[in-house]
Each structure stands twice: as structure tokens, then as C-alpha cells.
């Protein structure tokens, strides 16, 4: 089949419009912001979060690897240093288990060129509470650029690279309780510099690199590992190659961040949705980087350090923070009361508060009637209303990133309270009719007495308050109905308007 040149131009234009429209939509509700800078920029540092502090351990800059421990306090936006790691290294895998930080393997030289040093099998544990290091049982093999996760009280490590720059298929499991190692089935393909995350009880490996006798490439692969069955499954590839990037689970999705795309460091981010089994572009980093650290904390993603250049180990120290404005509230309803309107809506993911707006006309314009609403029940009572007037409401969810889209509109008309009452007409066996204007509760009390007496219990008479029929100097007037004198009775309900 033949196509004209103009046809391809049209397709290209439409594709670009579609792509950039999607990116614009993604960026509109999310953003990366540079919050801080590391005192000593590092690439390939072991990076974890403990109690609201991000630990960047070791790492590489230029041709050297380091021992220093740099700690970023998220709440104060400040840095401090802790006791040095016993072994200088970069490219180490790291996890947090029972409040302690475990650092596995790594490389002692230039992480970027993989020269001037050797891969390690050293394992060291850091206790943030005591600021002390302890040596643990070494890994079975000397490897750097591994990736690790904690699953079912065990630490799983995947892949890695040897001193001789060869990727491996190793899967090793460390038991912190016994300080021992076991091995699992090898991965289908050798890999190093991947990123491991856990979602829905499965372990996922995101991207990475492959170096063997004939290949030296960054990968866009995405693999699922079932630790129960020790089996691997290939999942949809990412849109970009991501060697020595990073990944986190955020808002129920897997975010793949940065990495090396063979010829350059990239700043792209994409998210995998397990519900649709698809990847979607997300907001880009401000600075392209590989060898970056990434953690999540309090509804945000934090990216720390990395290398910015493909031709050298150019360490960068910026800390970028990602967040999303919350989803729009759903199922807003409005119910009118007496000089009040009650609003109810469904929770919005990521919301820390809500803003209530209203209008006197459908579709707005709306005026804010309440902000910073958060009571845990997703309700609001508007008492600044006039009976008989129709009000139109919308709700916005809010967090530190911004405001959500608008909810559906709901309307209500408050009305004065209308009490239900009844005329109780009692016909006596002599044909006399007695009529009483009573509340429904009073009518029910009379019926309960009558039915109880019909069953053989209760007094023979029942006193009915005549209320506004009181005349003269009397404090009250009651009419006593004798059970065996009642022929029939009738209840006529009505609504009393104020």
C-alpha cells in the first residue's frame, strides 16, 4: 500500500497534538519543585526515608566514592551529617527494615564509568536512633547496582553488575532475623541498575541496563516477580529506556523516574496503572538525571541527587518534590432543612481540606462560603440561608499542591419546618364523637393504650390533653376516655405549616 507524503505529515501533526495535549493535562494537576540542594552532591547514593528524614548514604562524584551520610529533614528543609558508613561506596542497594537501614554491595570507584574500583559483597546496617553501623553477613557475590525490596520480613535483591562490567541474573534473599542468605531462581535476563517496587503483593523491576559480551544498552523493560511462586512475567514496556533510573509506588501506580536513555540522561516520568495495564506520561523533572534516589513521604515523591551527564559522572544535588492536586469530589448532594442546607460528598484522594462554594443561579458564578473544611465525614451544614430560596453548590478538594476540579452541582431549597399532626376522632358507644388535635406521638400513645387494654393489660381509662381547648381559669383540661365506652376511633394526619 502506498501513502502520500502529506498523509504522513498529517498523521505526525495529529499525533503531536494528541501527545502534547495529554502531557499538558498531566502537568496541569501535578508538578515537580526543587526544594533543596545536598551539601555534597552525589550520584548513586543509597537513599531511603526514615521518620520524615531522607538518608543519602555514600554515592559517587567525579572518580571517587564516599562514606558520608547526608540527612535531609523534610519538615525543616535542612541538612545534617551522621556517622560515616564504614565502607566507601556508590551503587549500593538499600532498604529500611524494623527502623534500621541496610546497605548491600556497591562499587568503590567511579560509578559512571565503572573504573578505578571493584564491586562489593559487603553488607552494613545503620541504626538511625543510635547513629551506629554494624557489619552483617556478606552477599553471596560481589555486585553493585543491585535493587532491593522488603517482602514478608525478607529482603530480596535482584541483578547487579560485576567488577568486570557484566550484568547478572542473580536473585538473592537476606533474612535479617537470622543474618543468612538464600538464592531464588535466576531472572529470565541479566540486568543491573533496575528499580524494584512492591505493588499488590508482587515485586516489579522497572527498567535497568544490560551489559554482556555483545550488548551495552539501557532497557525499557517492565517485569513482574511473584515471590510466592518464584516466577516471572513480562509486563508492558515503558515508553522510554531507563537505565539506573528509579521507581516508587504513588497513588496506587508505579512511577518510573529519570534514568539513562543510552545516549543521554532524561527527565521524563511515566506511571503504570495496574487497573488498565498501561503507562501514561507524567510531569517531567526539572533536571534530567540517572543514579537518582527516590522515596515517598506524606503524599509526595522526593528525588535526591544523581548524575546529569552521559559523558561523565556529573553529580547534582537538587532535591525535587512531586505532588498532585486531589481528585474532584464526587456524588455531591444537598438537602434543604429549616433555614439550613446539608451537603454530603464522597472523599477525594489526596485531599487535606475542602472548599464550599454556592450560587443563586445554576452554573454559577459561585461564591466561597467556607474554606478549610475537614471534619472526617465529608459533610457541611450551611446555616446562612433563607427559607424559600434555592441555592446551588459545588465543592473543591484542596491539598498543598493546589485545588481539584469542580464537583457536580447540587441544589436545595430550605423550608420552614412542617410538623405532622393528626385529628383523633373517638366515637363512643352512645354515638357521641370526641375530636382531639394532637401530635403524632400523642396519637400513637393513645393507640398503644387501647391495643394493650384490648389484650387485657393497662388501665381502664386514658387521659387526653385538650391543649388549646383549655378555657377559663383552669391550668389544664384532660378528657378521660373509658375503654369499654369506645366504639371506634379515626386518625386524620395533616401537616402543620409555621
What band does 262 get if pLDDT is binned at 50, 70 and 90?
confident
Residue with cell 454556592: 358
- How many C-beta atoms surround the C-beta of residue 98 within 10 A? 11
**Is residue 149 a contact partner of residue 155, using CB atoms and an 8 Å limit?**
yes
The pLDDT value given to residue 471? 61
pLDDT, position 469: 64
**496 has pLDDT over 90:** no
What integer pLDDT is reported at residue 7 of this predicted model?
32
Rounded alpha-carbon distances, angstroms, from residue 143 to 244, 262, 432: 15, 22, 104
Q: In the structure, what pLDDT confidence band is assigned to residue 491 with cuts at 50, 70 and 90?
A: very high
Whether the per-residue pLDDT at 143 is higher than 50: the answer is yes
**Given pLDDT bands bounded at 50, 70 and 90, which one contains residue 314?**
confident
How far is residue 250 from each of residues 116, 198, 456, measured CA to CA in Å?
37, 11, 69
Using CA atoms, how far apart are residues 179 and 335, in angstroms rounded to an integer?
Answer: 61
Q: What local confidence, expressed as pLDDT, does residue 416 receive?
A: 85
Note the pLDDT of residue 402.
82
pLDDT at 311 exceeding the cut of 70: no
Least confident of 86-90, 178-182, 313-317, 465-469: 465-469
Q: Contact 71/53 with Cβ under 8 angstroms?
A: yes
Q: How far is Cα 469 from Cα 472, in angstroms, rounded to an integer?
A: 10
State the pLDDT confidence band at 467, using cuts at 50, 70 and 90: confident
Res 8: pLDDT: 33
pLDDT, one tens digit per residue, over 341-356 is 999 999 888 889 999 9
Q: What is the mean pLDDT of residues 427-455?
A: 91
Task: Please name each of the domains of the chain with its CATH number.
Answer: 25-324 (2.120.10.80), 330-412 (2.60.40.10), 418-497 (no CATH)
Distance from C-alpha of 302 to C-alpha of 294, rounded to nearest angstrom:
6
- The tens digit of pLDDT for each residue in 165-208 reads 999 999 999 999 999 999 999 999 999 999 999 999 999 999 99
Using one digit for the tens of pLDDT, what is the confidence trace for 369-428? 999 999 788 999 999 999 999 999 999 999 888 888 999 999 999 998 777 788 999 999
Q: Give a three-class secondary structure readout of the chain.
A: CCCCHHHHHHHHHHHHHHHHHHHHHHHHCEEEEEEEECCCCCECCEEEEECCEEEEECCEECCEECCCEEEEECCCCEEEEECCCCCCCECCEEEEECCEEEEEEEECCECCCCECCCEEEEEEEEECCCCEEEEECCCCCCCECCEEEEECCEEEEECCECCCCCEECCEEEEECCCCEEEECCCCCCCEECCEEEEECCEEEEEEEEEECCCCEEEEEEEEEEECCCCEEEECCCCCCCCECCEEEEECCEEEEECCECCCCECCCEEEEECCCCEEEEECCCCCCCECCEEEEECCEEEEECCECCCCCCCECCEEEEEEECCCCCEEEEEEEECCEEEEEEECCCCCCEEEEEEECCCCCCCEEEEEEECCCCCEEEECCCCCCCCEEEEEEEECCCCEEEECCCEEECCCCCEEEEEEEEEEECCCCEEEEEEEHHHHHHHHHHHHHHHCCCCCCEEEEECHHHCCCCCCCCEEEEEHHHEEEEEEEEEEEEC
pLDDT, residue 26, reads 36
Mean of the per-residue pLDDT values of the chain: 90
Percent of the chain scoring above 70 in pLDDT: 93
Percent of the chain past pLDDT 90, that is, above it, reads: 78
Q: What is the pLDDT of residues 43-85, one digit of tens each?
A: 999 999 999 999 999 999 988 899 999 999 999 999 999 999 9
Q: Give the confidence band of 12 by pLDDT, cuts at 50, 70, 90.
A: very low
Give per-residue pLDDT as tens, 31-44.
899 999 999 999 99
Nearest Cα to 117, choosing from 66, 159, 163?
A: 163
pLDDT of residue 336: 94
Angle, CA of 446, 452 and 454, to the nearest 5°:
105
Residue 442, φ and ψ in degrees, nearest 5: -65, -35
Q: What is the pLDDT of residue 470?
A: 58
| pLDDT 10s digits, 291-309 | 999 999 988 999 999 999 8
What's the pTM value of the predicted model, to 2 decimals? 0.70
Residues 279 and 271: their CA atoms lie apart, in Å, by 5
Angle at 433 between CA 428 and CA 437, to 5 degrees: 120
Burial zone of 285 (CB within 10 Å; 0-12 exposed, 13-18 middle, 19+ buried): buried
Whether residue 365 is preceded by a cis peptide bond, meaning omega within 30 degrees of 0, is yes
Q: Which residues contact 273 (CB under 8 A, 6 or more apart)?
A: 252, 253, 279, 280
pLDDT in the model for residue 472: 65
Amino acid at each position: 500500500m502506498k501513502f502520500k507524503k502529506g498523509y504522513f505529515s498529517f498523521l505526525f501533526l495529529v499525533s503531536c497534538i494528541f501527545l502534547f495535549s495529554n502531557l499538558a493535562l498531566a502537568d496541569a494537576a501535578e508538578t515537580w519543585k526543587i526544594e533543596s540542594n545536598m551539601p555534597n552532591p552525589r550520584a548513586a547514593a543509597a537513599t531511603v526515608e526514615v521518620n520524615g528524614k531522607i538518608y543519602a548514604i555514600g554515592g559517587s562524584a567525579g572518580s571517587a566514592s564516599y562514606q558520608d551520610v547526608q540527612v535531609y529533614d523534610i519538615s525543616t528543609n535542612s541538612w545534617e551529617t551522621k556517622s560515616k558508613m564504614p565502607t566507601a561506596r556508590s551503587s549500593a542497594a538499600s532498604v529500611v527494615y524494623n527502623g534500621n537501614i541496610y546497605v548491600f554491595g556497591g562499587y568503590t570507584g567511579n560509578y559512571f564509568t565503572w573504573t578505578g574500583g571493584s564491586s562489593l559483597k559487603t553488607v552494613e546496617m545503620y541504626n538511625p536512633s543510635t547513629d551506629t553501623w554494624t557489619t552483617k553477613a556478606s552477599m553471596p557475590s560481589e555486585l553493585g547496582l543491585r535493587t532491593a525490596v522488603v517482602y514478608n520480613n525478607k529482603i530480596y535483591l535482584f541483578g547487579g553488575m560485576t567488577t568486570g562490567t557484566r550484568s547478572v541474573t542473580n536473585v538473592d534473599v537476606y533474612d535479617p532475623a537470622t543474618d543468612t542468605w538464600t538464592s531464588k531462581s535466576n531472572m529470565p535476563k541479566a540486568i543491573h541498575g533496575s528499580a524494584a517496587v512492591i505493588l499488590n503483593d508482587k515485586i516489579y523491576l522497572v527498567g535497568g541496563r544490560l551489559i554482556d559480551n555483545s550488548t551495552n544498552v539501557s532497557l525499557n523493560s517492565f517485569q513482574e516477580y511473584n515471590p510466592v511462586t518464584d516466577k516471572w512475567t513480562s509486563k508492558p514496556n515503558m515508553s522510554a529506556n531507563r537505565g539506573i533510573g528509579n521507581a516508587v509506588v504513588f497513588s496506587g501506580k508505579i512511577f518510573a523516574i529519570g534514568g539513562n536513555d543510552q545516549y543521554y540522561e532524561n527527565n521524563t516520568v511515566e506511571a503504570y496503572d495496574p487497573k488498565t495495564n498501561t503507562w501514561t506520561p507524567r510531569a517531567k523533572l526539572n533536571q534530567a538525571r540517572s543514579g537518582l534516589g527516590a522515596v515517598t513521604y506524606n503524599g509526595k515523591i522526593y528525588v535526591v541527587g544523581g548524575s546529569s551527564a552521559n559523558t561523565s559522572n556529573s553529580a547534582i544535588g537538587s532535591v525535587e518534590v512531586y505532588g498532585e492536586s486531589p481528585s474532584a469530589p464526587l456524588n455531591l448532594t444537598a438537602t434543604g432543612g429549616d433555614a439550613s442546607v446539608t451537603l454530603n460528598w464522597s472523599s477525594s484522594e489526596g485531599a487535606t481540606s475542602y472548599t464550599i462554594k454556592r450560587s443563586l443561579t445554576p452554573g454559577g458564578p459561585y461564591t466561597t462560603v467556607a474554606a478549610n473544611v475537614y471534619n472526617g465525614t465529608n459533610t457541611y451544614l450551611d446555616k446562612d440561608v433563607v427559607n424559600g430560596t434555592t441555592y446551588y453548590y459545588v465543592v473543591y478538594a484542596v491539598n498543598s499542591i493546589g485545588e481539584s476540579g469542580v464537583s457536580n452541582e447540587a441544589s436545595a431549597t430550605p423550608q420552614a419546618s412542617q410538623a405532622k399532626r393528626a385529628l383523633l376522632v373517638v366515637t363512643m358507644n352512645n354515638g357521641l364523637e370526641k375530636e382531639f388535635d394532637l401530635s403524632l406521638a400523642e396519637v400513637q400513645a393513645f393507640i398503644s393504650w387501647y391495643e394493650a387494654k384490648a389484650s387485657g393489660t393497662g388501665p381502664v381509662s386514658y387521659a387526653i390533653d385538650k391543649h388549646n381547648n383549655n378555657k377559663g381559669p383552669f391550668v389544664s383540661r384532660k378528657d378521660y376516655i373509658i375503654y369499654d365506652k369506645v366504639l371506634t376511633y379515626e386518625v386524620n394526619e395533616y401537616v402543620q405549616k409555621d
